[in-house]
């Protein structure tokens, strides 16, 4: 709930209600991979890359059902650079992108404070992780590609997401507030089908959906991370 702050220095006796108001809420975040998504394992076969800390950018649109409850939709993109394993003759770099669309609810705690308002957040939606690695010099891949490759893109099929966190709004005027929101996000990608797209040195592309035994390629782990989100909320009455 946004509590109006009188610009003249006097406090309003009856703060204006936010019920039935719309919000536009651009946000950005510092993101920290966790679990297998962030893990680098040079002893694995083949050696496993991890993901470094990254960033998130997104936009929320919402509606205050009451002074204490807001619902809405969000679209965001997160990017994490690969933390590559050091393998002789296998130089590469890349990143992982995750696109998310979700529905969310924010419950603002009753009996808050005059100049800031705490809340809890929960969201559910759909997401799609997509990894990209570039090889210089080109790397040789065996069957079914059997060619030198400049680039590999690995796209996981669209799957479900959940997120949760806590936050606080700090009003600057009666219609604008700054937000801070620590949050945890999980894209349930483990076991979800994926497609690998290889770009060969001659520019030809080759997409692979199954392994050499004909089994569908699948993501090996969930895509999880923590975020420290900052935003600027605009209230439209």
* 40 band by pLDDT with thresholds 50, 70 and 90: confident
Burial of 207 by CB count in 10 Å (0-12 exposed, 13-18 middle, 19+ buried)? exposed
In terms of pLDDT, which residue wins out, 20 or 115? 20
From CA 52, how far away is CA 96, in angstroms rounded? 10
User: Which domains does the chain show, CATH number per domain?
Assistant: 22-236 (2.40.160.20)
Q: How confident is the model at residue 184 (pLDDT cuts 50, 70, 90)?
A: very high
Q: Model confidence over 125-173: pLDDT tens digits? A: 999 999 999 988 888 888 888 889 999 999 999 999 999 999 999 999 9
| 105-111 mean pLDDT | 88
- Compute the C-alpha angle 192/213/44, nearest 5°: 65
SS3 state at 35: helix
Over residues 20-31, the pLDDT tens digits come to 999 999 999 999
Q: pTM for this structure?
A: 0.87
Does position 10 have pLDDT exceeding 60, yes or no? no
| CA–CA dist 116, 232 (Å, integer) | 14
Q: Which DSSP category does 80 fall into?
A: E
Please give the mean pLDDT across all residues of the chain.
Answer: 88
């Amino acid at each position: 709930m946004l509590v109006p702050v009188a610009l003249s220095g006097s406090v309003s006796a009856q703060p204006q209600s936010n019920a039935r108001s719309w919000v536009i809420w651009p946000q950005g975040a510092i993101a920290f991979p966790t679990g297998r998504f962030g893990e680098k394992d040079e002893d694995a076969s083949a050696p496993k890359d991890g993901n470094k800390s990254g960033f998130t950018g997104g936009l929320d649109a919402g509606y205050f059902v009451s002074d204490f409850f807001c619902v809405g939709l969000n679209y965001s993109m997160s990017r994490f650079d690969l933390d590559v394993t050091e393998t002789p003759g296998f130089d590469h770099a890349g990143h992982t992108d995750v696109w998310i669309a979700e529905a969310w609810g924010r419950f603002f705690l009753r009996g808050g404070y005059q100049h800031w308002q705490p809340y809890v957040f929960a969201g559910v939606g759909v997401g799609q992780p997509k990894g990209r690695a570039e090889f210089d010099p080109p790397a040789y891949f065996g069957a079914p590609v059997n060619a030198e490759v400049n680039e590999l893109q690995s796209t996981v099929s669209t799957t479900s997401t959940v997120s949760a966190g806590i936050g606080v709004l700090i009003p600057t005027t009666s219609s604008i507030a700054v937000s801070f929101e620590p949050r945890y996000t999980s894209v349930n990608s483990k076991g979800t089908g994926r497609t690998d797209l290889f770009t060969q040195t001659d520019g030809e592309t080759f997409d692979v959906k199954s392994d050499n035994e004909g089994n569908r390629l699948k993501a090996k782990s969930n895509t999880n991370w923590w975020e420290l989100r900052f935003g600027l909320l605009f209230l439209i009455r």
